[in-house]
Structure 1
Amino acid sequence: MFRSSRVALAAAALLGVAASAQAQSSVQTYGLFDVSAGQFQNAGATKVRRLDSGNLSTSYLGFKGTEDLGGGLRANFALETFFLADTGGASRVPGVDVFWARNAWVGLSGDFGALKLGRAGPPLFVSTLIFNAFGDSFGYSPSIRQYYNAPYGTPLIGDSGWNNAITYSTPNVGGVSANLMMQLGEGAATAKGRNVGANVLYFGGPLALTGAWQQVKAQGVLGRGIAAFPGFQKQDAYQFGASYDFGVVKLFGQYGVIKTDAFTDVKVTNAHLSASVPIGNGAVLASYGHSKIDTAGVANDPVSKMLTVGYDHFLSKRTDVYAIYMNDKYTRLSTGNTFAVGIRHKF
């Protein structure tokens, strides 16, 4: 009887240790579906009626985990793939991305902040998506499109995700935090060197501010390639952003400059204003973007003007439906008009 009790106690102790170890480590599966249908038309292009994936938010599937190493130190990872919900393809654009192209990193975090090694989003992209009403919308946000996704030739090199990257994030002190990132060029034929980026973020009640900068010498999968700028040496970009939540409306503003050093220097100036007005279980969204391209020695340089308005209605915390209108103008090209409705589901 005594021996049986000892065995039972030992088993209980082992189970307790196992439960404790399991509690110290966790892995989550998560993701997002975004599908919209309508008439899509970029500036200078014909009208196309289609079903599209990832226009308001890029569709993706992800896995992330954390392990408590003790003393406030944790090991973390994220592994995420884009997918096209309309075709099942694993990419943002058909046939462009590798499978784990959204995030693929491992790192440590603690009182010192967080360190990540692997593919991740650069600080300038993070600041761009936070400080506009349409977030990271590659299809509808003037801010994202004019920095990263204009079909007639976005000027930014480097993409919204950097490979071979080392990222450090500081702790949040009084609402202020910062991120520093370096991407190693690793001698690639499409690299003149390494990429470096940084941002500073402040969140204090209704007010939020950011300043971001990056210097790019290696191109990414999307965006412009360095071959588009003969004699390319480097590209510097900086951006300032602010938002203020008045309750009845949240306003956003961004101003940024992209300078490309090549045989012919190119300077792009971007300015964006947007707003989110809460109504019932949703919000009316509006955003305007103005992007001016100045090429050395060239007169009558082009200007991009985009206006997007829409309504986003939440059916639950995880599911929303939306309607969008976008007007896209570019110098010497015909105007594009997009009308779309869609559904987005997070899990």
Structure 2
Amino acid sequence: MNFTSTRLALAAALLCATTAHAQTSSVTLGGIADAAVRYVDNSGLSSVSSVVSGANNTSRLFFRGTENLGGGMTAGFHLEMGLQFQNGSQASSTAGQIFDRRAVVSLGSAQWGEVIMGRDYVPTYTLWVANDPFSHVGVAGSNNLASATPNGPIRAAFGTSFNTTVRANDAVQWLLPKNGLGLEGGVFVGYRGNGAVADGKNDVKGFRLSRQFGDLRLSVAQNQTSNSITTLGDFNDTVVTASYTMGKNRFVASNREFKYGNAKQTNRLLGAYIAAPGGQIKLSWLTADYAGTVGTTAIGANDVEQIGAGYVYDFSRRTVLYVNTSTIRNKGLAATAIPGGAAGLAAGKTSQGFEVGVRHNF
């Protein structure tokens, strides 16, 4: 009888210990499955229909872990890769790169904030994408007007290599602790050592700061990047945003400026998230204004405008049906087009797109 009681007591103790341990650490496997049918009509060219991945939110697979260290301290990691649901491949085309979206380890304190190291989003992108109704993806995403394809400051500073308008490698950042002042943000540093921009190596210095004033949120972020080809000084990326919440609706105004040497690109966005029966309506108006020169080439007449609208229907908390449409109008020598259309859009012409898709969070 005593032996049985001892075994029961030992089993109960082990169960309690296991439960306690489970409460202090966890590992999560999750992701987003997102696919859509897209139709793109580029002026003067044949229209193209295709299946695309991540038109509402980028398709991905992630592993995330946290551990409660006690005393208000936590440790964690986040590994995330992009997926292409139209063909089952990884999103990254870089040899040997698995977790292209994010790969970080962190140590946090309720009193002192959080230190994060690895490949991560730069402060300007974090702020900008939080105020893009289309989350920087799809036919109406602001990513359409922020690439290294046009002759402008981004291409001049990075060529066709990996640029720091979204992420940076070899990064260390510190995030502010939660506080009663309504302040949120942090500082960011990326190191390139002796590496070349062709290998994704950049020196990055940046910060992000937001302040809540009732229903109004004002924010600013800035990055400075130098690399093996930035002989004209730093590449500067600056974002200023204002966001106003009215019930279930939110209205945003954002300005993002890319500058390198004598070339400047200013993106301005006005957007709205409007509650609607069964889901949400999304609207955006975006412009890209170019100024100055790249070398001896003037770029000031090559402006671009994009107008987008979308509707998201919530089947559940995890599954949605969405519809997006947009139009891009080019001026001067600009030939920006919605991804997925016929190649060779002529300068100054129009690109139109439409897509309908399903997104499931798991």
TM-score bracket, shorter-length normalisation:
0.7 to 0.9
TM-score by length of 2: 0.84
Letter in 2 for 1:177: E
C-alpha deviations, 1:268-302, integer Å up to 9, x for none?
12211111221112122110111111123627531
C-alpha deviations, 1:208-264, integer Å up to 9, x for none?
22101000124xxxxxxx86x7x4432011111011122374211011221103xxx
- Between the aligned partners of 1:303 and 1:136, the Cα distance in structure 2 is 19
Quick check: 1:103 aligned with 2:102?
Answer: yes
Question: Which segments of 5 or more consecutive residues in structure 2 lack a partner in the other structure?
Answer: 155-162, 334-346
Offset, 1:151: 5.0
C-alpha deviations, 1:157-186, integer Å up to 9, x for none?
414121111111111223211121111112
- The residue aligned with 2:205 is 196
SS at match of 1:162: strand
Letter in 1 for 2:97: V
- The residue aligned with 1:335 is 350
Letter in 2 for 1:318: R
Percent identical residues = 24
- The residue aligned with 1:178 is 185
- Between the aligned partners of 1:120 and 1:67, the Cα distance in structure 2 is 20
Q: For residues 248-267 of structure 1, what are the structure 2 equivalents within 5 Å?
A: 249-261=249-261, 265-267=262-264
Large movers: runs of 4+ above 6 Å? 42-45
Q: Verify the 8 A CA contact 1:38 1:50 in the aligned structure 2.
A: yes
C-alpha deviations, 1:4-48, integer Å up to 9, x for none?
322322232122112211221111111111111121256897532
* 1:81/1:299 CA distance change after superposition, 3 Å: closer
Q: Verify the 8 A CA contact 2:139 2:354 in the aligned structure 1.
A: no
Q: Verify the 8 A CA contact 1:34 1:54 in the aligned structure 2.
A: yes
SS at match of 1:3: helix
- The residue aligned with 1:208 is 217
Q: Which among 269, 274, 282 is matched to residue 272 of structure 1?
A: 269
TM-score by length of 1: 0.88
Q: Which among 160, 168, 174 is matched to residue 174 of structure 2?
A: 168
- The residue aligned with 1:282 is 279
Q: Verify the 8 A CA contact 1:175 1:202 in the aligned structure 2.
A: yes
- Between the aligned partners of 1:198 and 1:163, the Cα distance in structure 2 is 16
- Between the aligned partners of 1:193 and 1:77, the Cα distance in structure 2 is 23
CA RMSD of aligned residues (A): 2.4
Letter in 1 for 2:276: I
Structure of greater relative contact order (alpha carbons < 8 Å, 6+ residues apart):
2
- Between the aligned partners of 1:179 and 1:39, the Cα distance in structure 2 is 40
Offset, 1:139: 4.3
* 1:248/1:106 CA distance change after superposition, 3 Å: closer
Offset, 1:67: 0.8
SS at match of 1:164: strand
- Between the aligned partners of 1:301 and 1:164, the Cα distance in structure 2 is 37
How many pairs does the alignment contain?
332
Q: Verify the 8 A CA contact 1:56 1:140 in the aligned structure 2.
A: no
Q: Verify the 8 A CA contact 1:79 1:103 in the aligned structure 2.
A: yes
Letter in 1 for 2:224: Q
- The residue aligned with 1:222 is none
